[in-house]
Amino acid sequence: MTKKLLKALAGETQDIPPIWMMRQAGRYLPEYRATRAQAGDFLSLCYNSELAAEVTLQPIRRYGFDAAILFADILLLPQALGADLWFVTGEGPRLSTITTGDELAALRPVGDIHETLNPVYETVRILRRELPEDTTLIGFAGAPWTVATYMIAGRGTPDQGPAHALRQENETVFAGLIERLTEGTIDYLSAQIEAGAEVVKIFDSWAGSLQGEAFERYALEPCRVITQELKKRHPGTPVIGFPREAGEKYIGFAKATGVDCVALDAAVDPEWAAANVQVDGCVQGNLASSHMVTGGQALVDETRKIVEAFSKGPHIFNLGHGITPDADPENVQLMIETVRGT
């Protein structure tokens, strides 16, 4: 039996697309909130292999998605490289900053990351044992540019301004950080694959704020390097790329990087993407996550529109961004039933 998600990633067009959802294990589910409370705090949940596996499995039990994505966070890699990381309730992550050559030099060697990240790999091993045999396990990491924006600013920012400033004012340090993150991401994803991940996804959440040559150099090129090295180490393991808000730069992204699938954000018109992006292979997306809050006929109509637009090629149904904490679990069920025609 070949899993539905793997068929799509291999380029197969299916009558009913496989479906999963970014952040499908999360705060919109009461069972997640209960497990999170049991863990104590967010980072403790990420590093508790049994509980991280439990929250990964919860949406599979509830909805029967075609894939489970490892529960972790993109900022575990910078922590493994030696950055201080903590979460402020209601505000999000905070990190010690990397803005100078000395701070960059103080980071740990890439080869030392696994001591910190071993609990993540154990989560993967548990999931491979416990997931239903028809459910694909996805591993993931943040893309170097997106992770760097947090490391440079010490937090999330609306416009990634501190990272853009460092890129322009001290490109030696900036490029050095991107290089270190690229190497670390390769080793991190490779270890996830060795532990049992069947697919990996590279999340470049802030790719859209890179313009022109900067996009080619710091979004496209690191994704290409990571993908090619993973393909060399793990032939046959598919890679999904998500250069969010790339706009016209979604065109040709798969060919330029070697990814097996391009995930699309909700701003992308599905018919445009079918004509311009899906021609190169599998696409993933791209229902607006707001429909998971509002539901109703608009959710059904937009879901059908996306399924129809991508019906002539390989497609994985997903949201265009992660589901939000205020989403109604019933709307997720409605989305799934609409995709599957049940």
Catalytic center residues: 23, 27, 36, 73, 150
Radius of gyration of the chain (CA): 19
DSSP one-letter string for 205-226:
TTGGG--HHHHIIIIIHHHHHH
Q: Which residues pair with 319 in a beta bridge?
A: 287
| Cβ atoms 149, 206 nearer than 8 A | yes
DSSP one-letter string for 289-313:
TTHHHH-HHHHHHHHHHHHHHTTTS
Residues found in the chain: 342
Q: What amino acid is encoded at 255 in this protein?
A: K
Q: In terms of DSSP H, where are the helices of 40-113?
A: 42-47, 49-63, 76-80, 101-105
The burial of 293, by beta-carbon neighbours within 10 Å (0-12 exposed, 13-18 middle, 19 or more buried), is given as middle
Which strand (E) or helix (H) includes residue 176? helix 171-195
CA atoms within 13 A on the CB side of 74: 24
The CA–CA distances, whole Å, from 253 to 207, 307, 311 equal 12, 22, 21
Please choose, from the candidates 204, 220, 208, 203, the residue with its C-alpha nearest in 3D space to the C-alpha of residue 247: 208
Which residues, other chains included, contact 334 with Cβ-Cβ below 8 Å and sequence gap of 6+?
295, 299, 300
CA atoms within 13 A on the CB side of 9: 24
